[in-house]
Structure 1
């Protein structure tokens, strides 16, 4: 099983990132596809528009957001695909555009992929 990392897409890519997967539904603002250095964009892995809007990146809502997001992911094709990527690569880095590095969907998704 791969090591799963989480990183802001605006940070410089590095060799340690391994296979980089963007897990946002919307492409990051002001970033070209070349500058993002993503190997794959799995936009369906991002939270639904309704959940994202409700959460609004408010840390006090993160625990409930994580619970609802896990429910959305449960049995989904994007999650199955990401699990396949983790099985096929030594290192997978989930990249996201949110400013908050602790309270975002990539953190939750990484926990799911790690089996937490």
Structure 2
């Protein structure tokens, strides 16, 4: 199971493995006290894409499309998360204020689709020259 949660929300026993998926460390969060399984900076949208989007709701669909292409180009960044999600709960942590239009939501959707693909066949998926 994959879920998304703002990093500022209280930790819960239902969180399972908690992974921060932002490129920048969240403001006001102490690295020593934030309970994380991992901080996957490379999994976050590129700095260029993040700055282009700038959390502007009107640009979200374009951001979503570009971020999905970035994800497809680098399966090495996210494939390990599929194993975590198959074994239990994976909580993707993010700092954005918008709980519906953010990189963690796009990533969760992408990972869910990959889990579905994994279940459909036993052969690995090739991401070379893949267009979304």
TM-score, L = length of structure 1: 0.91
Q: Does the Cα contact within 8 Å between 1:10 and 1:36 map onto a contact in 2? A: no
Gaps of 5+ in 1: none
1:32 aligns with 2:3: no
Q: Does 1:15 align with 2:13?
A: yes
Unaligned runs of 5+ in 2: 115-132
Counterpart in the other structure of 1:79: 78
- What do you get for the CA RMSD once the two structures are aligned? 1.3
Q: Which has the larger radius of gyration?
A: 2
Match of 1:95 among 93, 96, 110: 93
Quote how far apart the aligned CAs of 1:71 are: 0.2
TM-score (norm 2): 0.81
User: How far 1:36 moved relative to its partner?
Assistant: 2.3
Moved over 4 A (4+): none
Query: Greater relative contact order: 1 or 2 (C-alpha under 8 angstroms, separation 6 or more)?
Result: 1
List per-residue Cα deviations over 1:83-116 (Å, max 9, x = no partner).
23323x3100000011111110000000011117
